[in-house]
Structure 1
Amino acid sequence: MTGDLTLEWSSEQEIREITPSFIAKLEELLRLAGEQENVTVGEVALTFVDDDAIHELNKQYRGMDKPTDVLSFAMSEFGEDEIEINYEDDGDSLLDEEGEDDVAEAFIEPLGDIIISVPRAIEQAEEYGHSVDRELGFLFVHGFLHLIGYDHQSEEEEKVMFAKQEAILQKAGLMR
């Protein structure tokens, strides 16, 4: 299991069916983004929600009393109220009979959570004149880049991040 970049997903909305073929496309996007950014191991948790759910999360975690299209919560960020967990060796061995560390083999470190508003994605796809799949893919890649440290607070950061997103989407065949 080591060396894997994995996607765990769920849908808490009833606006659009999330098909197995679309999940396969998201897994392809994750693989392409990981290759581009040299991220080869980790788990991304993706949840599709409605506007009410993302509105509440946006209000709770960002202090913004409105819905948004995508939220990302990176596991590597530590806020003031969070504590870092240190794992110390207590002397107990986690090795299997062959002397291999099977716990480390089975554990994939979480990179973080991405929450996407499906109604926002549908509206934005119509506004930009491309498919809903492309918009959802764009939001997913955008969220992933946030998880690994990219931001777009300045114009220069935005140019870099959006160019990376576009390159990944084009490799996956999700054109405008």
Structure 2
Amino acid sequence: MIFFVENEVSANFSFDIEEVAKKVAERTLELEKCPFDVTISLTITDDEGIRKINKEFRDIDAPTDVLSFPNISYDKPGDFSVCEGEQKIDILDPDTGLIAFGDIVINEKRVREQAKEYGHSELREYAFLVAHSMLHLCGYDHMEEDEAKVMESKQEEVLNSLGITRD
């Protein structure tokens, strides 16, 4: 896996943002049994940066904690067989020859605020947002209650398997 990280706001946490993101992403892909080597782009930004992206791509003029932009159109979540069909040409990164899996945008301010709000570490909140976003990149969603339960369970599995708990 290749992880491209752009820290637009020079976010400084007590952990290495690239190392943690890569570890969470790798575990997510492992648990989802993704058979491909992928590239993922991660941008760390602020309220204004994420608000602009949210407005441009989702027509929502407000900041949020995380945005996910999958490059793959799944028939069903976690079914990576679509990557071997007609989509393959559209999702290959020409520079690396790997599958361009998608983009993640995380709001630094929300990581800090939500960690305080939920009473856990910034590491836990950041890792949660990466896991959440990775599941979106794997085709999962949480618009319906049953979908949300599946996603929540998978997020917890990823974080618990890495020992990143709410404590």
TM-score range, shorter chain: 0.7 to 0.9
Q: Which has the larger radius of gyration?
A: 1
Aligned to 1:6: 2
Range with bigger deviation, 116-125 or 69-78: 69-78
TM-score by length of 2: 0.81
Range with bigger deviation, 51-60 or 33-42: 33-42
Q: Counterpart amino acid of 1:144? A: M
Q: CA–CA distance in 2 between the matches of 1:36 and 1:86? A: 22
- List runs of 5+ in structure 2 lacking aligned partners: 75-85
Equivalent pairs, count:
151
Q: What is the alpha-carbon root mean square deviation over aligned residues? A: 2.5
Stretches (4+) displaced over 6 A: none
Residues 60-114 of structure 1: per-residue CA shift (max 9 Å, x gap):
1111111000001111249xxxxx9885xxxxxxxxxxxxxxxx9x511110000
Shift of 1:140: 0.7
Shift of 1:118: 0.6
Shift of 1:154: 0.6
Distance 1:20 1:10, change over 3 A: farther
Report if the CA contact (8 A) 1:11-1:18 is conserved: no
Aligned to 1:48: 44
Report if the CA contact (8 A) 1:43-1:110 is conserved: yes
Residue correspondence of structure 1 range 23-34 to structure 2 within 5 A = 23-34=18-29
Q: Secondary structure at the match of 2:103?
A: strand
Aligned to 1:71: 67
Q: Secondary structure at the match of 1:24?
A: helix
